[in-house]
Structure 1
Amino acid sequence: MAQPEPSALVESLRAFGYSLRTAVADLVDNSISARAKNVWIRFEWDGAQSFISIRDDGSGMTENELVTAMRPGSKSPLEDREPRDLGRFGLGLKTASFSQCRRMSVISKTETSTSAARCWDLDYINTAGEWRLLKKVNQDRLTEVGEQIAQQGTIVLWEEMDRVTGSTRADDKKAYNRFLEAIEEVKEHLEMVFHRYLEKRGGINIFINGRKIEGWNPFLKGEKATQELPSEKLFCKGAQLSVTPYVLPHLSKLTQDTHRAASGPQGWNAQQGFYIYRNERLLVPGDWLGLGFQKEEHHKLARIQIDLPNNMDDEWQIDVKKSRARPPGYLRGDLKRIAKLTREQAVQVYRHRGKVIARRSSQDHVFLWQQKTRHGKYFYEINREHPLIQSSLREIGADKIEPILRLLEETIPASHIIITSSEEPDRMGSPLEGAKYVEVRALLQKIYSSFQKSGFSRDEIFDRLVTMEPFSQTPEFIEAFREEPEGGI
């Protein structure tokens, strides 16, 4: 019998490609499958001794059930699953945990059984050279922070988190800030992935360090201007799946807060496409599924919901992390047709409302570049009426500024932009992408001063700033600037 070498196999199980947020989401799946009403996630910072715990009030496990659950590959992906079950491979608890830590403990209790505990310690496996599930669990750490099971439920404890904190010291401020950023990323991911469970009555409550999170619905169903196009039922593996396209409202129809929230964790452009749900759990948060479409600015309002039952995993090539899915070949034609119609409608909304805004906002201050036609060919000029250009012409002099503007106009790398956009669209950055407010503030201040010198009031200036490129895509910067004391501005 050729048995796998324990230390080699366990290190391989760490390489499934989980991030912290997808790993935590995989454990929340288990809580939902266990019919939990509440999940409490705790991040405790202590440098290299930091830990994360995930506790729920689900049905819990007896000792025999816990030992089975701790076994890698505890269920075959070919087995029929309960309709509510979010698992598939019987690997999630182990691979998700191993991807982040070297010591994973589970304590569980049913309504009628006593508490049971088991632990996988990867360093012990490497040293002993055998698969030995330990009974010793560091419950003192959980007691210190009040993480205990009441009537029933399960606690998963991650320690020795080499992939999260490494060997950093507790007083390392940069590492601590990275830890806080990771918590925020987990929060945003869970709000997106489980939004349907968080939104519905009788669903589930998720708490991170005591604070309840809210669901992020990508389809803005509560907005009057959101267009829900007709749903279609497609057949797959003898069952039906539902496809519902949405076209989201134009910026002009949303408040700044709603527009900012609707951009999602990855931003408006990245969040377009198909949203694939399996048992109401989001697997794919915006992707064109290899159907030949690119993520482009004028299609960013198109989002399409697909609902799958959990017996289509193989057909849709769902991976262990539940973060990737690909449609079977016989559905690609229908999905491509639906995507094309939705994208066309999204373009109409994007362009129509954009034209209205341009007319109402006076184009002289909105756009820095203007498209012109000469001898039947397009070319681009810098808008001399733009407030920042006007200010520079006055302060520095037209004789010095005009040659620079003309040089910029004649050297636009249009061919290179077109080729790059066509061949590598996902690598094309969007305006102010990744920029921080402190980096943009000086530019805002300069434009604000230019408007001010032209006699505009404070309210009039902010009305113009919010529609001006590139700030129309980052309303949070305008809001932060508006909140500063007027003397500071």
Structure 2
Amino acid sequence: MDDPEGTYDVTQPEPSALIESLRAFGYSLETAIADLVDNSIAAKAKNVWIRFEWKGSDSYISLKDDGEGMTESSIISAMRPGSQSPLKERSLKDLGRFGLGLKTASFSQCRRLTVVSKVNNGEIVKRCWDLDYVKIKKEWRLLKLIEPEPLTVINDTISVQGTIVIWEKMDRVSGNHRADDEKAYKRFLEGAEKVKQHLEMVFHRFLDYPNSLKIWINGRMITSWDPFMKSERATQELPVEKLLCDGKNLVITPYVLPHQSKVSTESHKIGSGPRGWNAQQGFYVYRNERLLVGGDWLSLGFQKEEHYKLARIQVDLPNSMDGEWQIDVKKSRAKIPGYLKSDFKRIAVLTRNNAVDIYRHRGKVVSRKHAQDFVFMWEQKTRHGKFFYSINREHPLVQQAYKNGVKIDLDALFSILEESIPVSHILVTNVGEPDKFSTPFENAPPEILQSVLLSSFSALLNTGVEEGEAKRRLLAMDPFSLFPDVVEVCLNEFLKDKK
């Protein structure tokens, strides 16, 4: 029943003002294009072709797919802002949410959005939003007659079925620069590279399927980037956990990635991802296998610190949890519901602890009966509330040195070494160039390692330890734990010659 006239006002939003507001949703170029790819996946596309065409202020970006395409009525609906309510129940495989993605993503980057589409055995249909035209006419006029002809502009067509999205007047991408502006052209290419890396990460699970989605950028097919390095044997998958959220299962799979000494230089470089090892640690939240958040501790109070960089945790959500997780329009942010925070914190602590063990022990999984069995040359201690490092005076080699030398001289030497560790320099170098640190005895002649090993073995024997026990202790001693084969061969030969 209608309310009586005079009891309400109809306040239609001013078109240009509202559209300009829609442009400020905070999309980057890469998140905007990812939103368009979502639509292609929803349309069951097998291929997505993206083109970056530089022509200065006349540059354009186009995205073409071979999905199901749209009829005239469906293209009008798709071009309508707010074409789908977020409250509406959707297909379990739907990647959308607000019915705003195509428009807000496009308007965030350009002032002219054209969509051309064709269903199988249908006619080509097209519509265009020109924000400057809307501003002049002050009406929501969706253009049917588009000049110049968009398919002529991009020199492309749709043969059987599919959709083409074209961005022109890209004030947020190419601006008003001339075509011969080298710096602007370089930024344009850098933007294309960022898009490539982002799509490789966000859609990596789609790209990995048999007969999978293929995405092409300027004619080159992109490859997937797996944050969890599942193809590496040294990657550790921790126990999977299923948490009940609103009557549905939420699946969490923690991973601890390999220490760089356990993978090739190329694999380690790839594993660093678009933002680098430190920035990529944390939770990876997926909705319907599409990545929403890539590497974040989700406000649980953890910092992204160097020694936790090997911790990455996969979280799988169905799209029915969008409201509880506060998924935003850009599909780039999520928030853990309050009642799940304690579980997520527990899983994060477990994964981080495992990651720091691998980081500190250089990937070596050490078998030992007791924690105290592992012998380090250096010990971390606290003095007046601050950390410092001291030489382990109980180390067999240190004990042997005390036995054969002058204690007061050795104490002075050890103290100088301990107090002059270049901690600040090490920290700065480790942050800037973490891969430049050599591993123990890296590229050193084999006889140096063997000499230190035999000296340590002799030192243990001199304390009354039996040969078998001495060997076991060396296998649990830093840095010999990294070279179990050398320990076995070298000590066996030593004992054989001794007999």
Q: Which residue of 2 aligns with 1:439?
A: none
* d(CA) in 1 for partners of 2:153, 2:430: 46
Structure 2 residue 209 is matched with structure 1 residue 180: no
Structure 2 residue 148 is matched with structure 1 residue 148: no
Change over 3 Å in CA distance of 1:162–1:245 after alignment to 2: same
Change over 3 Å in CA distance of 1:228–1:379 after alignment to 2: closer
* d(CA) in 1 for partners of 2:123, 2:90: 27
Q: Which residue of 1 aligns with 2:86?
A: 77
Structure 2 residue 127 is matched with structure 1 residue 115: no
Structure 2 residue 324 is matched with structure 1 residue 315: yes
Match of 1:45 among 50, 54, 59: 54
* d(CA) in 1 for partners of 2:170, 2:429: 33
Change over 3 Å in CA distance of 1:7–1:258 after alignment to 2: same
Letter in 2 for 1:222: S
Task: Quote the offset at 1:80 in angstroms.
Answer: 0.8
SS in 2 for 1:266: coil
* Structure of higher CA gyration radius: 2
Q: Which residue of 2 aligns with 1:204?
A: 213
Summarize the alignment of residues 336-375 of structure 1 with structure 2, pairs less than 5 Å apart. 336-353=345-362
**TM-score, normalised relative to structure 1:** 0.75
Change over 3 Å in CA distance of 1:379–1:123 after alignment to 2: same
Task: Quote the offset at 1:296 in angstroms.
Answer: 0.9
Q: Are the aligned partners of 1:380 and 1:409 in contact in 2 as well (CA < 8 Å)? A: no
Letter in 2 for 1:83: L
Match of 1:327 among 336, 339, 344: 336
Task: Quote the offset at 1:431 in angstroms.
Answer: 2.8
Task: Quote the offset at 1:146 in angstroms.
Answer: 3.7
Letter in 2 for 1:166: G
Match of 1:276 among 281, 285, 301: 285
* d(CA) in 2 for partners of 1:47, 1:371: 60
Summarize the alignment of residues 226-237 of structure 1 with structure 2, pairs less than 5 Å apart. 226-237=235-246
* d(CA) in 2 for partners of 1:325, 1:263: 23
Q: Which residue of 2 aligns with 1:267?
A: 276
Task: Quote the offset at 1:203 in angstroms.
Answer: 2.2
Task: Quote the offset at 1:372 in angstroms.
Answer: 8.8
Change over 3 Å in CA distance of 1:138–1:279 after alignment to 2: farther
Letter in 2 for 1:24: I
SS in 1 for 2:349: helix
* d(CA) in 1 for partners of 2:18, 2:299: 33
* d(CA) in 1 for partners of 2:296, 2:234: 23
Q: Are the aligned partners of 1:288 and 1:294 in contact in 2 as well (CA < 8 Å)? A: yes
- Report Cα offsets for 1:408-441 as digits up to 9, x if no partner: 9699889xxx9xxxxxxxxx997337x9xxxxxx
Change over 3 Å in CA distance of 1:66–1:429 after alignment to 2: farther
Task: Quote the offset at 1:85 in angstroms.
Answer: 1.1
Q: CA RMSD in A?
A: 3.2
Structure 2 residue 294 is matched with structure 1 residue 299: no
Q: Which residue of 2 aligns with 1:171?
A: 180
Long gaps (5+) in structure 1: 357-369, 382-405, 419-427, 436-443, 448-454, 458-489
Q: Which residue of 1 aligns with 2:167?
A: 158
Q: Are the aligned partners of 1:55 and 1:147 in contact in 2 as well (CA < 8 Å)? A: no
SS in 2 for 1:9: helix
SS in 1 for 2:32: helix
Q: Are the aligned partners of 1:371 and 1:378 in contact in 2 as well (CA < 8 Å)? A: no
Change over 3 Å in CA distance of 1:292–1:163 after alignment to 2: same
Change over 3 Å in CA distance of 1:125–1:140 after alignment to 2: closer
**TM-score, normalised relative to structure 2:** 0.73
Letter in 1 for 2:60: F
Equivalent residues, number:
395
Q: Which residue of 1 aligns with 2:141?
A: 132
Change over 3 Å in CA distance of 1:214–1:139 after alignment to 2: farther
- Report Cα offsets for 1:196-217 as digits up to 9, x if no partner: 0001113200000010000000
Letter in 1 for 2:431: P
Structure 2 residue 105 is matched with structure 1 residue 65: no
Q: Which residue of 1 aligns with 2:105?
A: 96
Letter in 2 for 1:158: W
* d(CA) in 1 for partners of 2:126, 2:20: 23
Change over 3 Å in CA distance of 1:177–1:36 after alignment to 2: same
